[in-house]
Amino acid sequence: MRDDTIPVPGAADRAVAYGDLTDDLLRTDWWTDAMLARADIPVVDIPFVSIGGGIGSFVTVDYLRICGVPPSAIRVFTQLDTPWESYEYLTRVSQIPRGERLRSDSASCPDNIWGFPSYALREAMATRSLKPLAHVLVEPIFDDYWTPKAGQAFDSMEQEYHRIRYPEMVVKGQVRMVRRRMGGGYFTILTPPAGATRTKRVAFRSRYVHVAVGYPGLKFLPDLMDYRETYRDFGSVVNAYEPHEQIYERLHRAPGTVLVRGGGIVASRVLQRLIDDRDARGLSTQILHAFRTFVDGPHGPHAWMRRPGGDGWAYQGFNYPKSVWGGQLKARMRKLDGQDRAALYEVFGGTNTPKRRGWQAQMRRGRQEGWYRAFQGEIATMEPGPQGTVQVQLKTATGPARAQVMGVIDCTGLEADIREHRVLADLLDHGGAGRNPLRRLDVERTFEVRGTRSEPGRLYASGTATLGGYFPGVDTFLGLQIAAQEIADDLAAQGFCQALGPVRSVNQWWKWVCGERI
Ligand SMILES: Cc1cc2nc3c(=O)[nH]c(=O)nc-3n(C[C@H](O)[C@H](O)[C@H](O)COP(=O)(O)OP(=O)(O)OC[C@H]3O[C@@H](n4cnc5c(N)ncnc54)[C@H](O)[C@@H]3O)c2cc1C
């Protein structure tokens, strides 16, 4: 990247690196323009900035562009080449490559705020087949939910990415912090990529900031970390969100046992991969499957709020009941605060996976033929065994057990505490932000981060960092779009963009249909 991609006046003329954070800046919650001038940090003015550049930034920018905000008024700070890069990496390593189907439904389209034409309709048109339409007509009673292929989501996002001129708004770099500005608005400190500019930091002075930084980090369970650090073996005991092809390859080379841990969709996908490989290559892989909570039947507080379950799993089409995105649970949660809100999250939360017919048939076959064994249990200890294996001591519901495995695939955790993310930690310590009843970032119904206002500026956040707020489905395509809509409505009320009324909406939808650049 060259200096001119970040319009820093005079940066290219400076002989030595300049412009870094000072102790004064680090310690102070509210900054003045003079403090940045003293630190020799160049300041760039832009009305709206979005931090992260993943799908949350993309759908928010999409909304604002559709609501009439020009590209010159928006900047997205990111290290990604495309908004779906991070997501594509996570789906690929957790066994959802482009050709496999995602979890969300046909109308959850991050490239299309109207959700119409849906992915199923588009697939039907592209393949000249009525099958996807017949499928959505009978789901979920006579068939599983129809869901799009990952590749379809990425390709369609790419079209919208060009249509809204997203690349013009991207500034590469890592955001270090956001601080409130005396006199209104915010300063966002960006560290440009090494060698891109002589200044070490650039400050973007904006009225509005949107934070969409995704997952604060991978959550490695202590037993996994202990094993890896003690025995310096990073290839046998893995988190499913890390590349772990080596385990499948080892199982191709020699017969062995693998231990899978977790009861969510990633565990389902990993099992599918193991069983597909077993079938396709004639392998004799043995699968042990540990559930911390073993669900043996339908569960829930009332007859009308029960979730199916069995064989260890809790079953649900999507990660929450569907009414969370637009029905009675959405309306109910919007009215709750504090412990009442936390209690409702507790009722419908919990790990679950879709009950897909294909997965059920594979596991049934595995149970009957004795090569798939699921149990309630936890790992007590792990140590290296003979020939590159791992000796696992288990605490199961029926007592201690031992297993010698080729690999352990942990499918339990992606989500670390928000404090592990530097920008979020800084917002908690210096930005006035607080935690919600689930200990994540506390946001208003408009997705403004409570406590961070710097009049007339506003700081918004969306995505998983805000789970526990008035709207539960935040970490999904549709949830990110609903958050974007709330943010756009709030910005329209302040005169920053046009309101998305029926005339603008139909007009913009037609432009979308025609693929017209805006
Ligand atoms: C395996 C998996 C499957 C999923 N499947 C579905 C599905 O089928 N349907 C669905 O609706 N949802 C799904 N989700 C949930 C959700 O839609 C995605 O995780 C989505 O990518 C979240 O978007 P985001 O913008 O919040 O985070 P991301 O897309 O992860 O983007 C955030 C970006 O911010 C960047 N960033 C962080 N800190 C900084 C910083 N300081 N400076 C600059 N950049 C920074 C990160 O590099 C990251 O790339 C899935 C999630 C996972 C993990």
Q: Compute the 3-state secondary structure of the chain and give helix, strand, coil in percent, each to the nearest 5.
A: 40, 20, 40
Q: Of 167, 76, 59, 165, whose CA–CA distance to 516 is shortest?
A: 165
| CA-to-CA dists, residue 139 to 42, 146, 231, 317, 473, angstroms | 56, 7, 48, 10, 21
Give the list of residues 6+ apart from residue 269 with CB closer than 8 angstroms, or none: 94, 95, 96, 100
Looking at every residue in the chain, the average pLDDT score rounds to 95
Q: How does pLDDT run across 359-372, given as a tens digit for each residue?
A: 999 999 999 999 99
Q: Closest Cα to atom 53, ligand 1: which residue? A: 90
Answer yes or no: is the C-beta of 102 below 6 A from any ligand 1 atom: yes
- The atom of ligand 1 lying closest to the CA of 147 is 8
In this predicted structure, what is the pLDDT of residue 7? 66
Residue of the nearest CA to atom 9 in ligand 1?
Answer: 104
331 Cα–ligand 1 center, Å: 25
Indicate if ligand 1 lies below 6 Å from the C-beta of 86.
yes
Report the separation in Å between the CA atom of 265 and the middle of ligand 1, taken as the mean of its atom positions.
Answer: 16
What's the confidence (pLDDT) of residue 2?
41
314 CA distance to ligand 1 centroid (A)? Answer: 24
CA 47/CA 228 separation, integer angstroms: 46
54: confidence class by pLDDT, cuts 50, 70, 90: very high
Q: Is the CB of 148 under 6 A from ligand 1?
A: no
**Confidence grade of residue 1 (pLDDT, cut at 50, 70, 90):** very low
How many other CB atoms sit within 10 Å of the CB of residue 508?
Answer: 20
Mean pLDDT, to the nearest integer, of 486-505? 98
**Ligand 1, from 59, 87, 119, 174: best to mutate by most atoms within 8 Å of Cβ?**
87
Answer whether residue 413 shows pLDDT above 90.
no
H-assigned helices in 74-190: 85-93, 119-127, 131-138, 150-163
Distance (angstroms) between ligand 1 centre and the Cα of 475 equals 8
The two beta strands, 48-51 and 208-211, are: parallel
- Closest alpha carbon to 186 in 66, 285, 77: 77
Please check whether residue 166 is in contact with residue 58, taking contact to mean a CB–CB distance below 8 angstroms. yes
Q: What does the alpha-carbon distance between residue 86 and residue 11 come to, in Å, rounded to a whole number?
A: 31
The DSSP bridge pattern shows strands 390-396 and 372-384 to be antiparallel
Q: How far apart are CA 362 and CA 303, in angstroms?
A: 30
Ligand 1, atom 31, lies closest to the CA of 54
Determine the average pLDDT of the residues in 124-141. Answer: 97
Q: Find all residues with CB under 8 Å of 254, minimum gap 6, and list them.
A: 406
pLDDT at position 278 over 70: yes
Whether the pLDDT of residue 308 is over 90: the answer is yes
Peptide bond into 140 cis (omega under 30): yes
When mean pLDDT is compared across 12-16, 128-132, 182-186, 192-196, the lowest value belongs to 12-16
What pLDDT band is residue 16 in, cutting at 50, 70 and 90? confident
Q: For atom 27 of ligand 1, which residue has the closest CA? A: 214
Residue 358's H or E segment, with its range, is helix 357-369
Number of Cβ within 10 Å of residue 429's Cβ equals 12
Beta strands in 107-215 (DSSP E): 170-172, 174-181, 186-191, 202-206, 208-211
Q: What pLDDT, on a 0 to 100 scale, did the predictor assign at position 5?
A: 55
Q: How high is the pLDDT of residue 3?
A: 44
Q: Does the pLDDT of residue 167 top 80, yes or no?
A: yes
- Kindly report the pTM of this predicted structure: 0.95
pLDDT at 306 over 90: no
SS3 175: strand
| Longest CA pairwise span in the chain (Å) | 73
- Cα 275 to averaged position of ligand 1 atoms, centre (Å): 28
Crossing angle, helix 119-127 and helix 150-163, to 10 degrees?
100
The pLDDT value recorded for residue 146 is 97
Closest ligand 1 atom number to CA of residue 463: 26
Helices (H), 178-292: 222-231, 245-253, 265-281
| CA-to-CA separations, 107 to 146, 356, 427, 480, in angstroms, rounded | 10, 19, 34, 13
| pLDDT of 416 | 74
- Least trusted range by pLDDT, from 55-59, 226-230, 305-309, 339-343: 305-309
Is residue 427 lining ligand 1, measured as CB closer than 6 Å? no
d(CA 315, CA 372): 19
Rounded to 10 degrees, the C-alpha dihedral 211/322/417/272 comes to -110
Q: Is 432 within 8 Å of 442 (Cβ atoms)?
A: no
Q: What is the mean pLDDT of residues 273-278?
A: 97
Q: What is the mean pLDDT of residues 41-60?
A: 98
* Cβ of 423 below 6 Å from ligand 1: yes
Confidence of residue 195 (pLDDT cuts 50, 70, 90): confident
Q: What is the pLDDT of residue 158?
A: 98
Distance from Cα 481 to the centre of ligand 1, integer Å: 13
Phi/psi at 74 (5° precision): -130, 140
Quote the CA–CA distance of 32 and 488 in Å, as a whole number.
28
69-73, 220-224, 455-459, 490-494: the lowest-pLDDT one: 220-224
DSSP string of 66-81? HTT--GGGEEEEES-S
| 414 Cβ closer than 6 Å to some ligand 1 atom | yes
Average pLDDT, integer, range 116-131: 98
Ligand 1 neighbourhood includes 91 CB (under 6 angstroms):
yes
Rounded Cα gap, residues 47 and 30, in angstroms: 19
Percentage, residues of the chain above pLDDT 90: 91
Its sign, for the CA torsion 88, 92, 98, 100, is negative
What average pLDDT score do residues 111-115 get? 98
